[in-house]
Amino acid sequence: MPELEPIYSPDLLTGLNEQQSAAVLFRGPALLIVAGAGSGKTRVLTHRIAHLLANREAWPSQILAITFTNKAANEMRERLRHLVGDAEGMWIRTFHSACLQILRREADRLGHNSNFTVYDTGDTRALIKRLINASGHDINDLKPASVASQISKAKNELQTPDDFASNIDSKNPKARAVAEIFADYEREKRRNNAFDFDDLLAETVFLFRAFPEVAANYQRKFRHILVDEYQDTNHAQYALIRELTKPIAAAHAVVDERTGEILPPASLTVVGDSDQSIYAFRGADIRNIAEFSKDFRGAQTILLEQNYRSTQPILSAANAVISKNFDRPEKNLWTQKTEGEQIVAYTGVDERHEAAFIVDQIQEHHKAGTAYSQMAILYRTNALTPAIEAELKSQRVPYAVIGGLKFYERKEIKDALAYLTAISNSRDDEALRRIINEPGRGIGEKTELKIAQFARSNEMSFREALAYGGDLGLGPKLTDAIKTFSDLLDTAEVLSHSAKISDVLIEVLARSGYKYQLELSRDPQDEARVENLDALVGQIIEFEIRNPEAKLADYLAEITLAASADEIDDESGQVSLMTLHTAKGLEYPVVFIAGLEQGTLPHMRSFDEVGGIAEERRLFYVGITRAMVQLYLTSALQRTLFGQVNSTMPSNFLSDIPPELIDQRGNARQSYTARESLSSGGDYGLKRPVRERTIWKDALTQVRNNEGLVLAKGDRVKHTDFGEGIVVNTTGEGARQTAEIRFERVGNKRLLVKVAPIEKL
């Protein structure tokens, strides 16, 4: 093994605390590191890997480190470069990219060739929509997104179409239809030489189970496996780890078949925190981490509680919130940063006042020297963003909605990538059918359907059928258009074998006329589309510089595997807006958590789900622990969602935070959900919101105060924004009276009479 000289840490333990050092030095078959938020888990993982290498206990190629995002993998890779000088040879990858690499090597065993396409969510839904239409089922009855979700869930449970069909209610026609479409979907993907995102995991597990000799090869290859965010693993991911670590779980030695030598002891290290398990809706199973010691004999657990991210007031609030959950390992985050600002809790009159407060505070922090990129606004649901975005625009604060319309989801980008996909994988019918009339060639849906039927009848791909355009009786103009399109793809495919990926795209965009048509347009949106295509070419060039040996299929796979959190550019100079789920793994000096109201956080659905409230509390805990210096918790007295104006009540979770940690601003209020009204513990102590029992402490002073105004059914009123209307119903009394009003311009709205900008006519 070549000499490895750590660059800045001679013994690789400098700067680590006692528990971190214990995790780095541990030698045994299995280790669970329970890492609290901000406790330096990435540092521990990288130092553990470096220690194995520096002490000649492993070759770089024997290391497999698995993360959940490309951003986390890149960070780990960069840290290892600083520690050992060279991270080449190690597999530091996401679950999906590791499986992709394995499937590229072994695809022929599963009946695919190595040039297969990976379908993203949009590709999957488009194919399912086409299959629903072809099946004769009502697309309004079978939503493509819903069917895709059911198929995805089944695959994450490692169910085949036959397994799925055997577990449904055979008397339910919709369930039977989904089972049929699932089977058709799998056949179409195989015909297209394609996998979807979920297949990358499931098919790798099936590969290992069907071909034990292949599994044994990878078990011998990866002697030390490290898994980050283990609490977020679903059944397929869990099964994958189990397949790779069978010798470790069985606690027996592995023999090198070539030399007959017993290989050095292997190990599995997983890092996670059950308090941050927030992806049950994606199939994440918290039992995977809770039962780790049962799965691996001799496993040990090391607890990391010292936090290096946040101030103590923030951590004290987080500890108080999460302590209300049952069935969790006792853990108490602490920091040496004992001083810190109080948490600011603000209650606005409505979402506009809440948004104004948030943006005002952002501007204050910015004036004091905090960059916009160091601030984030988090929320439970995207439905809360319109008012916040409007205020940000009004005050000209630059911002980016993470997880909104992503660069690679724009039409022109998906069209360009579809061209590249069709060139890379000639069997991918979906890519071809997306671009067959982009730009317009006069090839409409009827012609496309004829080509597809011809292909199916003659057991050939859609691409092969293009060569028989003259046999379809389409007339000379359409036949010529099809031939021109087919020739373009053939030429580009030949070019792709020797030219750079960027040159192939430039050639295709030019020869197809796609870019030229956009450049001819006077529409500003088309001008932006041209700029986006130029940006895509630039990104491909950057990819080529980083990966000089990569093929077109490698580039397309990397794009498909990109995650929302990977899009965040810390140097962008923009405030980040994102859901609490997306914020997992990130940190910001200043954090705002908006919409802290019953029914929003915790979400209304959680009241009816087993363990739902506990997971919502974990989600709030994750949000709190994103903040490093200053945390704001905001809510509104009334909120307009989906066209309805409703009075709100504060989130029960707010009452979990000790009052001495809170700097209350705005319109303070107190709810019946005070501590004494909660039974001790978990999901059982939280009740559905009961609006009538909310008690207002202070009069509202920031907007119109309709003191003494009482409305009755039939009264006519005038609203500042909605115009004139008539009261159709009222509930509550005094300060709690709400009125449902039918406005002539905007329809029915429900308003809190005391604060609404209305007057009686």
End-to-end, the C-alpha distance of the chain in Å comes to 88
Copy the structure tokens of residue 253: 């030695």
Contact by Cβ (8 Å): 401, 578: yes
Active site residue 276: yes
* CA distance readout (Å), 399 to 170, 344, 369, 568, 653: 50, 22, 17, 11, 28
Count of residues making up the chain: 761
Among the listed residues 71, 626, 639, 749, the single catalytic one is: 626
Among the listed residues 198, 199, 228, 438, the single catalytic one is: 228
Helices 524-546 & 552-560, crossing angle to 10 degrees?
120
Active site residue 228: yes
What are residue 582's phi and psi, to 5 degrees?
A: -70, -30
Among the listed residues 67, 276, 634, 737, the single catalytic one is: 276
Residue 427 CA to residue 191 CA, distance in Å, equals: 7
83 CA to centre of own chain: 30
Strand 267-272, strand 662-666: pairing:
unpaired
Helix (H, G, I), strand (E, B) or coil at 31: strand
Long-range contacts of 683-689 (CB under 8 A, 24+ apart): 683/610, 683/611, 683/612, 683/613, 683/614, 685/324, 686/602, 686/607, 686/613, 686/652, 688/598, 688/607, 689/598, 689/599, 689/649
Residue 470 CA to residue 476 CA, distance in Å, equals: 8
Among the listed residues 19, 20, 41, 305, the single catalytic one is: 41
Query: Which residues, 6+ apart, have CB-to-CB distance to 689 below 8 Å?
Result: 598, 599, 649
DSSP 306-323: B-SSS-HHHHHHHHHHHT
Residue 198 CA to residue 202 CA, distance in Å, equals: 6
Active site residue 342: no
Strand 738-743, strand 723-731: pairing:
antiparallel
* CA distance readout (Å), 664 to 206, 283, 345, 623, 634: 55, 38, 5, 19, 10
Nearest to 624 by CA among 28, 10, 36, 32: 36
Q: Is 112 exposed, middle or buried (0-12, 13-18, 19+ CB in 10 A)?
A: buried
Residue 205 CA to residue 645 CA, distance in Å, equals: 49
46 CA to centre of own chain: 24
Contact by Cβ (8 Å): 363, 564: no
H or E element, residue 420:
helix 411-424
Copy the structure tokens of residue 138: 């009502």
Which residue's entry shows tokens 């057991």? 459
Contact by Cβ (8 Å): 613, 683: yes
Q: Is 563 exposed, middle or buried (0-12, 13-18, 19+ CB in 10 A)?
A: middle
Active site residue 351: no
Residue 565 CA to residue 2 CA, distance in Å, equals: 36
Contact by Cβ (8 Å): 712, 720: no
Copy the structure tokens of residue 524: 């500003």
Residue 47 CA to residue 55 CA, distance in Å, equals: 12
Written as one letter, the residue type at 479 is T
Residue 652 CA to residue 616 CA, distance in Å, equals: 11
Residue 232 CA to residue 281 CA, distance in Å, equals: 11
List the catalytic residues: 41-42, 228-229, 276, 626
